[in-house]
């Protein structure tokens, strides 16, 4: 049976229990507050985001992970998996 990696981005908002149980790789979105860029779920969690939303003078913006970020993730996963299912 082939080994299949599952990949999605952080907009899926999957609980950590699920990502660990099914070994799902999460690629984080970029969260921008002015000139500051944070990785969703890595540099900033939901609680911190909502606190910063109230405290910051900047309205947050998000951007999808770059093609290069996904490519690097896929290349790393293909060292241990036969194929990848990427869900967005």
The tokens describing 35, both together, are 């000139």
Q: Do residues 30 and 10 touch, judged by C-beta distance below 8 A?
A: no
* Domain interval for residue 22: 1-28+65-88
Are both 1 and 23 inside the same structural domain?
yes
Are both 51 and 76 inside the same structural domain?
no
Q: What is the pLDDT of residues 8-42, one digit of tens each?
A: 999 999 999 999 999 999 999 999 999 999 999 99
Alpha helices (runs of H) in 22-83, residue ranges in sequence order: 46-55, 67-77
Are both 55 and 76 inside the same structural domain?
no
Are both 41 and 55 inside the same structural domain?
yes
- On the 0-12 / 13-18 / 19+ scale of CB atoms within 10 A, 31 is buried
Share of the chain above pLDDT 70, in %: 100
The CATH code of the domain that includes 70 is 3.40.50.10440
pLDDT value, residue 53: 94
pLDDT value, residue 32: 98
If one counts the domains in the chain, the total is: 2
pLDDT value, residue 40: 98
| pLDDT-based confidence at residue 75 (cuts at 50, 70, 90) | very high
Are both 34 and 54 inside the same structural domain?
yes
Are both 17 and 4 inside the same structural domain?
yes
Beta strand segments in the chain, E:
4-9, 24-27, 30-33, 36-39, 61-63, 83-87
Of 16, 10, 18, the residue nearest 70 (C-alpha): 10
Average pLDDT, the chain: 97
């Amino acid at each position: 049976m082939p080994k299949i990696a599952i990949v999605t981005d952080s907009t899926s908002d999957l609980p950590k229990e699920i990502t660990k149980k099914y070994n799902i790789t999460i690629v984080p979105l970029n969260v921008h507050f002015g000139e500051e860029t944070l990785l969703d779920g890595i540099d900033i969690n939901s609680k911190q985001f909502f606190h910063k939303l109230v405290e910051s003078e900047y309205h947050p913006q998000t951007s999808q992970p770059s093609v290069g970020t996904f490519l690097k993730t896929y290349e790393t996963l293909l060292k241990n998996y036969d194929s990848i299912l990427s869900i967005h």
